[in-house]
Amino acid sequence: MSKRLPAFGVLAIGVIVLIVLFANNLFTVGTAFEELTDEFRPIMTDEAIAAAKADVAGLGAVSEEFNTQVAPAVAEALQMTPDELNTFLGTNFPAVAAGVAALPGIVDQFTSVVALLEQQQSNFEQADQIPTSNLPASSVPWIILLIGVGALLVGIVMLGRSNYAWLVATGFGVLVVALSLLLSFLPKSSAADDLNAALKPVYTPELVAQSAQALGVVGAMGQQMQEEMLPALAQQLQMDEAGMEAFLSQFPATAAALEGLSGSMERFQTMVTAFDSQLENYDTIKNTELYPIALLVLVSGLLIVVCGIWLFIVARRERPAQEPAA
């Protein structure tokens, strides 16, 4: 009976690993995780984060410059009071008026999102390496399945009469431990859990909807400003194209934002699309903690090694007692 105890221990480990695998729905989670990281990878690079920060800073500069310099200059040129200018803009260029009013809040919103992405770059880079840079995250459940099934098979071998069963168990346990350490499952899974914890309070359908709406407001403001407001202003002030360019040159932030509007909007759209398209996948993975699962894999390997050594010790003690009877 004593020789069976190590085998039962390994069988129990295999059963526990498989229960954890299916209880956490890891095959679905692995696929969702892979799709999410694939979609987020382009917006999490150093270049993408730097561009996003510059775009947000540009919007902030436009907001400040328009209220403190552009609006007063336009009001003076049109011989209007500030209130009259606000009424004029609201009546004739409602998208511009709405955009200018919403810009401070939009800037704050995108600033917080970009800051969060920057803070989580390191965690994302580690999580994106699960299990390796060459293997997709969807392979992890299969690895865990093989460990669970392998433990069951090893346990069955240990129940047999093979003199090398202990060696099979010890070798399998060492393999599991080595795999866990070589793939850095623990630090990578910890980084993934930290990333998830940071995203969970803000990655909601409401945030995505607000971001998409904000993007629409900014796009409509820029388009109407370029296509309607500036040409109308040039006509009223009897300015040609060169004259309008000279007028705008007094407001570098606004001029730069208008010139780079299409690029900024494209980058913002890429970010919002990434969040929007992965809402369902994030909902699938957000309640799954990977670190305890990675820890289970490592501990399972160690315990299988212990059971293998245990079997060796028991078998060695029993052998002398059996030999005289033979």
Domain count for the chain, please give it: 1
How does residue 316 score in pLDDT terms, banded at 50, 70 and 90? confident
User: What's the confidence (pLDDT) of residue 1?
Assistant: 55
d(CA 165, CA 257): 71
17-33: pLDDT as tens digits: 999 999 999 999 999 99
Enumerate long-range contacts of 111-117, CB under 8 Å, 24 or more apart. Answer: 111/56, 111/60, 112/202, 113/202, 113/207, 113/211, 113/271, 114/49, 114/52, 114/53, 114/56, 116/198, 116/199, 116/202, 117/43, 117/44, 117/49, 117/52
Asked whether residue 277 is assigned to any structural domain, the reply reads yes
Does residue 320 have a pLDDT over 70? no
Enumerate long-range contacts of 75-78, CB under 8 Å, 24 or more apart. Answer: 77/233, 77/237, 78/233, 78/236, 78/237
Asked whether residue 82 is assigned to any structural domain, the reply reads yes
178-230: pLDDT as tens digits: 999 999 999 999 999 999 999 999 999 999 999 999 999 999 999 999 999 99
pTM: 0.88
Does residue 326 have a pLDDT over 60? no
Asked whether residue 183 is assigned to any structural domain, the reply reads yes
Asked whether residue 326 is assigned to any structural domain, the reply reads no
Asked whether residue 127 is assigned to any structural domain, the reply reads no
Asked whether residue 155 is assigned to any structural domain, the reply reads yes
User: What's the confidence (pLDDT) of residue 318?
Assistant: 75
User: CB burial class (10 A; 0-12, 13-18, 19+) of residue 303?
Assistant: buried
User: What's the confidence (pLDDT) of residue 163?
Assistant: 87
User: What's the confidence (pLDDT) of residue 299?
Assistant: 98
Domain carrying residue 97 = 4-122+138-320
User: CB burial class (10 A; 0-12, 13-18, 19+) of residue 205?
Assistant: exposed
139-165: pLDDT as tens digits: 999 999 999 999 999 999 999 888 899
237-253: pLDDT as tens digits: 889 989 888 988 999 99
User: Cα(first)–Cα(last) distance of the chain, in Å?
Assistant: 20
Q: What is the dihedral of CA 94, 98, 101, 105, to 10 degrees?
A: -170
How does residue 176 score in pLDDT terms, banded at 50, 70 and 90? very high
Asked whether residue 163 is assigned to any structural domain, the reply reads yes
62-99: pLDDT as tens digits: 999 999 999 999 999 899 999 999 999 999 999 999 99
